[in-house]
Structure formats: C-alpha cells, structure tokens
Structure 1
Amino acid sequence: MSRSNLLGTLLFLGFIVLSNSVYVISETQRGVLLKFGEVVKSDLEPGLHFKTPFVNSVRKFDGRILTVDSTPERFFTQEQKQLIVDSYAKFRVVDTAKYYTATSGEEFRAAALLSQRINDDLRNQVAGRTVQEVVSGERDQLMEAVKARLNETVLAELGIEVIDVRVKKIDLPNEVSQSVYRRMNAEREKEARELRSEGKEIAEGMRAEADRKVTVIEAEAVRDAEIIRGDGDATATRIYADSFNRDPEFYAFTRSLNAYQQTFSTGSDIMLLQPDSQFFQYLRDPKAGK
C-alpha cells in the first residue's frame, strides 16, 4: 500500500472515530449517555459533548412542553349518569434517566401511559361529583385535582411533569342526548307559552285601559259640548228676551208673519179656524196688537 493510500485510510478512520466521539445537545433537547444500553449519565446539558466511540451512545428527547390528547372516555357521575369526556394534558421530561427506563425514550409510549393515567384519575374524580359539578360548578377544581394526583405518580414512574390537564368537551351519550334534547325542547316550549300568555294578559289590560280612557274622553267631550250648547242656548234666549222686551208689538207682528209664511207654504188650500181666531188678527186689523 502506498504512503498516500495509508494516509487517506488513517484520515478516514480518524474522521469516523471523531464523528462518533462528538455529539451536540440543542437547547430544545434533553438526553442521556448510555454504555452498552445502560444509563451512565442523565440530564445532559445543552452544548458540545464527547463520548467513547462504539462504547457509548446517546439518546435525545424533546425537552419542550409536549401535548398528549387522550381518547374520549365514558365516565359515570355520582348520580350514575354517563358522560363522555374528551381531555388533553401538557407535560415535559424532567428526569431523563427514568423517562428512558420507563419508555425507552419513545414519546408515543410516554403519551400512551400518561393518557391511561389521566383517564383513570378523571374516572375517579367524575365518580365523586354530580353532572352539574363536572360541567360547570367544580370543573376547575377537578382539573387541578387530576393534575396534582398525576404528578404524585408520573414523576416517580415516568420521569415527566404534568404542566396542565384540561377537558376539551363533555358530551352526553347518543342514547341519552335525544331524551335530554326533547326535555329541553319541552321546557322551552312551556316557557314560551307562559311568556305568550303573560303577553296576551298584559295586552288585554292595556287595551282595556285604552278603551276606558276613550270612553272617559268621549263622555267628557259630550259633557263639555252640552255645557257649551246650554250656555249658547241660554245666551240666545237672553238675547231673544231682551229683543222682545224692547218692542213686544213688533215681535208679535214678526211671529205672526212667520206663522203665515210657514202655513201658506205647505200648499194646502183648506184651513179650519174659528171666526174669532187670533191667527188672522193682523189681517183683519193691522193695529190689533196695540
């Protein structure tokens, strides 16, 4: 073998040895150093590190906050009513040695184990509460209790810390939903009928009050009109009386002429009168009134 070939081979072998001796842990990663599969150093710091080639190996994990989305499960409440709860959790790796030992560094296996524990704790928490408490009344307390309970076990068993547990959705089973919806619909229809009945009652009261006011206004108007008419008639009578008292003879003569006009305008040619009737007194004697 020539000297140049030997040098090239040595350089190649040196590059292989060097590449297997150096590794980098980034800021978003956590890692463990293994020796023939056994953990010899955990919680490796971010940066450049060295290891023994072909003896040591490195396993890197995601050091950021991860999400596990649990499968919706059916739980029973304190009243033995069924609820379908869909939840998720946020977690991160804090003990790389335990995490690797429990899950072989597989994120999906850690998520599966954590999801199972979440559902178990949710089942226990829901079983001790009513539907109202689970849905709204004590929902936050339930989540805090589940998170605290998980951190008591998963940190020691899986080497992870649960940051938060949340319920995405709480549903009733399909066989229960329809009856609940029908009951809710019946309650809403009953409430609507009561509101319509109250509205009609109020409308009738308002209509009756309006009719009463119209009747009162019309009665007052008729009363005022009669008073005005009476005052007018009294005024007219007073004027007639004053005029009559000024010249009674002229007033009597005028009344007689009006009587002649009304009598002869009917077209009747027959009149039955006594000979001494006062009707024609001014025709017999123009000075009859004096």
Structure 2
Amino acid sequence: MRKSIFLLPIFVLILVAALSSVFIVDERERALVLQFGQIVKVKSEPGVGFKVPLIQDVVKYDDRILSRDLDPLEVTPSDDRRLVVDAFARYRIADVVQFRQAVGAGGLEVASRRLDGILRDTTRNVLGTVSSNDILSTDRAALMLRIRNNAIAEAQSLGLEVIDVRLKRTDLPPENLNATYERMKAEREREAADEVARGNEAALRIRAQADRTVVELTSDANRQAEITRGEADAARNAVYAEAFGADPEFFEFYRSMTAYLRFAEQGRSSMVLSPDSEFFNYLQSDQGSAENTAQAQSSASGQATGTTAPADQ
C-alpha cells in the first residue's frame, strides 16, 4: 500500500514529462524547437515531433499565404502631382530559421511592421520615377510588378517571400481635388476653344471657296448668256432685215404701231408734236406716209389749177 503511494506521483510526473515532450505540427504550420533561445531543430513536415521537456520549447509559424493591407500612402510622382495610394501585399514565411533570427520573439507582429516599411519605401521609390498619368493608366500592372520585385529582395533578409503587391486605389489628396478639377476644366475649355477656332477657320475657308465658285459660275453663265443673246439678236435682226426688205411699207407701219404702243404703256396723257410730224401718219390714214404724200401732191395740183383759171377769164 505504501509502495503504491510513492509510485503514483512518480508515474504522474513521468506521464506529464512524456506528454510535454510531444508536439504536433499541422499541415498549415512549421515549427522550431528552441533550447535556451537557440534553434536546435526545424520541423517542416506535418506530424508528431519530440522535444526535451522543460529545456526545449516549440515555436510554430503559419506556413500559409498571408495578406497585409498598407495604410493609405501619399506619393509624389515625377510630375509633382501628389497621389494617395492604397495597396496590399501577399507574402509567406519562406525561411523560418532566418525569420526567427530577424524578428526574434516578436513574430509576425514585428515582421508585419518591418514589411510595411519595406513596401512603403519601395512604393514611393517606384512611383516617384513615373508620372501620375502612368500610375493611372494601364501601365499600373508593370509598376506593381516592379514594386513586388524590389520588395522581394529586401524582404528576403526577414525570411519572407513577397508573392504579390497590388494598388487598390489611387486618388488625389482632398486638398488638391478642387485645384485639379479646375485645371482639368481649363484644359478642356482650351481644347474646346481650339476646336471651335479650327472649325471657324475651316468654315471661312469653305465659305470663301463657295463664294468664289458662285462668282465664277455666275460670270461664266452671264458670259454664255451674253453670247447666246448676241447670237439671238443677230438672228432676229437678220430675220427682221429680210422681212422688212421684202415689204418696206409694212416696216413703216410696224414701227409706227410699236411707237404708239410704247407711248400708251408709259401712261402719259399729253404730248406736244408738230401737226405735220410723221408720228401721226397712221393716225390720220391707214395708208400712212404714202397716202399723205398723194394728198399733198393732189393739193398742190389743185392749187396750181385754181391760180390759172382767173387768168383765163
């Protein structure tokens, strides 16, 4: 009975020591066995591991891909237009031994702060060599690749592997928004004024060409019309000459009728002419000047006979 009382504590101590010497590594983890703060063993494969109780400790680190969001960062590109950049990174612990030596007992908290500094410095250095238009364009993919490559080299000293770096948001600082909007507005107004000026210049050029074409076409049409009119007048005069030459009396009659018609169309109510004017030839007789001539000759003959008769008496 007394022997069992002494053996029970010993058995409990042995059991506790055995349990404390066993540790389990998950497939998502890697473990370091430390002895008085020094690394004595690395457990990279999942499964059961052993350590010396009370003397050795086990530190486990996440072997998965981790994410880190950076606080909004203000950068100054080469064109001096300040931008606020919001980025995040994906990384993993590539070398647990180097990681432990670099960060000590601080673990991921210390490593995250140091990684943030690396990413901020790298982002500022890369984005400071390009213009803001490059940052806001499709060239961002190449810029993110440059940031990642630069961060990889610096993060290796921490035992970290930077897998990817992304720029989530790129905005202007609040104090620069109004100035930027006004500058963009002025640029657009200037471009619009240039377009209007070029349009007006083109309109004047087209209008001048059109006016010149109108003048040329009108001049050519007038010239052709004058030529045609002259040819028609010549043909008309030839016809008139032929017709009037065949009947001179009809020509005299036509001229008189035309004169009467023009006088009547003018609306005049009186006209002062000599009674023996040729204008009244066809108003006095339908024979015109021929009849008047005959009457004149007959009168002259009668006057001659009347003068001789008293002499005979």
Bucket of the pairwise TM-score, normalised by the shorter protein: 0.5 to 0.7
Partner secondary structure for residue 161 of structure 1: strand
Greater relative contact order, per chain length (Cα 8 Å cut-off, separation 6+): 1
CA separation of 1:100 and 1:22: change in aligned 2, threshold 3 A: same
| Structure 1 residue 74 corresponds to structure 2 residue 74 | yes
CA distance 1:60–1:135, shift in 2 (3 Å): closer
CA contact (8 A) 2:256 2:279 kept: no
Of the structure 1 ranges 80-89 and 174-183, higher mean CA displacement relative to structure 2 is found in: 80-89
Aligned match of 2:237: 237
5+ residue gaps, structure 2? 1-14, 282-287, 297-313
Would the alpha carbon gap of residues 146 and 221 (structure 1) be closer, same or farther in structure 2, given more than 3 Å must change? closer
What residue number does 1:11 align with?
A: none
Q: 1:167 to 1:103 in 2, by over 3 A?
A: farther
Residue matched to 1:181: 181
Instruction: Indicate the SS of the match to 2:74.
Output: strand
**Aligned CA distance change for structure 1 residues 191 and 113 (closer, same or farther; 3 Å):** same
Larger helix share, 1 or 2: 2
Task: Please identify the structure whose Cα radius of gyration is greater.
Answer: 2
Please give the residue correspondences for 1:19-34 in structure 2 after superposition, counting only pairs within 5 Å.
23=24, 25-26=26-27, 29-32=28-31, 34=33
Counterpart code for 2:116: S
Q: Does 1:281 align with 2:304?
A: no
Shift in Å at residue 149 of structure 1? 4.5
Contact 1:87 1:169 in 2 (8 A): yes
TM-score normalised by L of structure 1: 0.66
CA contact (8 A) 2:73 2:84 kept: yes
2:152 partner amino acid: N
Q: Which amino acid aligns with 2:289?
A: Q
Structure 1 residues 214 and 34 mapped into 2: Cα distance closer, same or farther (>3 Å)?
A: same
Equivalent AA in structure 1 for residue 257 of structure 2:
N
**Aligned equivalents of 2:116 and 2:263: distance in 1?**
121
Alignment of 1:110-125 (within 5 A): 110-124=111-125
Which region of structure 1 is more displaced relative to structure 2, 269-278 or 118-127?
269-278
User: Per the alignment, do residues 126 and 284 of structure 1 end up closer, same or farther by CA in structure 2, a change over 3 Å counting?
Assistant: closer
What is the deviation of 1:178? Answer: 2.6
- C-alpha distance 152-275 of structure 1, shift in aligned 2 (>3 A): closer
- Post-superposition offset of 1:42: 2.7
Q: Which amino acid aligns with 2:121?
A: D
In structure 1, distance between residues paired with 2:262 and 2:197:
69
The verdict on how the C-alpha distance between 1:103 and 1:200 changes in structure 2, with shifts beyond 3 A counting, is farther
Structure 1 segments unaligned to the other structure (5+ residues): 1-13
**3-state SS of paired residue (1:242):** helix
Shift of 1:234: 1.1
CA distance in 2, matches of 1:169, 1:97: 35
Q: Look up the equivalent residue of 1:72 and give its one-letter code.
A: P
Aligned-partner Cα distance in 2 for 1:142–1:269: 106
Identical aligned residues as a percent: 28
Q: Secondary structure at the match of 2:176?
A: helix
Show the counterpart of 2:88. 88
* Distance across 2 between alignment mates of 1:21 and 1:216: 109
Is the 1:154–1:160 Cα contact (8 Å) retained in structure 2?
A: yes
SS in 2 for 1:59: strand
Q: List per-residue Cα deviations over 1:21-60 (Å, max 9, x = no partner).
A: 684643xx232154689655435235xx223499576736
Change (3 A) 1:25 1:228: same
CA change 1:147–1:276 in 2 (3 A) is: closer
Q: Write the distance in 1 (CA, Å) between the matches of 2:291 and 2:271.
A: 17
1:235 shift after superposition: 0.9
**Counterparts of 2:255 and 2:108, CA distance in 1:** 130
